[in-house]
A and B are shown apart, each in its own frame.
Chain A
């Protein structure tokens, strides 16, 4: 059950990518799953960085092999509630001229992840995702 904490900064993305690659290698997994995992984690991690600048200095990321898939758990400490499962996503049907980047990330997460669960307590946001290993 590898868990690591990353600084609340976009600059942590490279370290997160290396952590994910190391986990997949240890599990004998690679290919498209690597891109999907990097993507869903980046989208949720960057949301935490952008929308909770006053949170704890570090955000925890845990990866685990579970039921033939991968479980991703992101924990954000000392933050207000922000539930990405309830947030609105970008509307693909709107004209491009009106479309803004915000919301695209959540749209990607919902397309890629098999399940997304949000929990909040003790000023800690916990997001749990599952992805199929055979994606």
Chain B
């Protein structure tokens, strides 16, 4: 199960397992955001290449409009997936 919540301060909360079955709905939700985004990954248990694709496309779309997109509080296992993919060299992961 995967869901996206919104904190009162505007932070986007990624919660659960962002796998290939969850990716289309996640993409649709993030595609509706048109502002700088901080995504809190403390509740993100798992991400696959399909999930990385969602993150990558969101980053490209916002970055292309001069808007920041950063990920925070990623667990070591999730951070490793970004590192294996090489995306940690492009996307800001704090």
- Which residues of A pack against B, CB within 8 Å? 10-11, 13-14, 17, 32, 35, 38-39, 42-43, 46, 90, 92-93, 96-97, 99, 101, 104-105, 107-108, 111-112
Contact = CB atoms under 8 A, between A and B. Distances in A.
A43 B84 CA distance: 14
Given A14-B21, A96-B90, A104-B85, A43 B56 contact: no
A108 B19 contact: no
B62 to A, nearest CB: 12
Interface residues of B, number: 23
A84 B77 CA distance: 24
Contacts of B90: 96
Given A39-B48, A101-B50, A104-B52, A11 B21 contact: yes
- A contacts with B: majority SS: helix
A120 B49 CA distance: 25
Contacts, number: 66
B60 interface: yes
A96 B60 contact: yes
B89 interface: yes
Contact of B46 (A10, A35, A96, A111): A35
B5 to A, nearest CB: 20
Interface of B: 17, 19-21, 46, 48-50, 52-53, 56-57, 59-60, 76-77, 80-81, 84-86, 89-90
Contacts of B52: 101, 104
Find the residue from A93, A99, A112 having the highest chain B CB count within 10 A: A99
Given A10-B21, A42-B19, A101-B49, A32 B84 contact: no
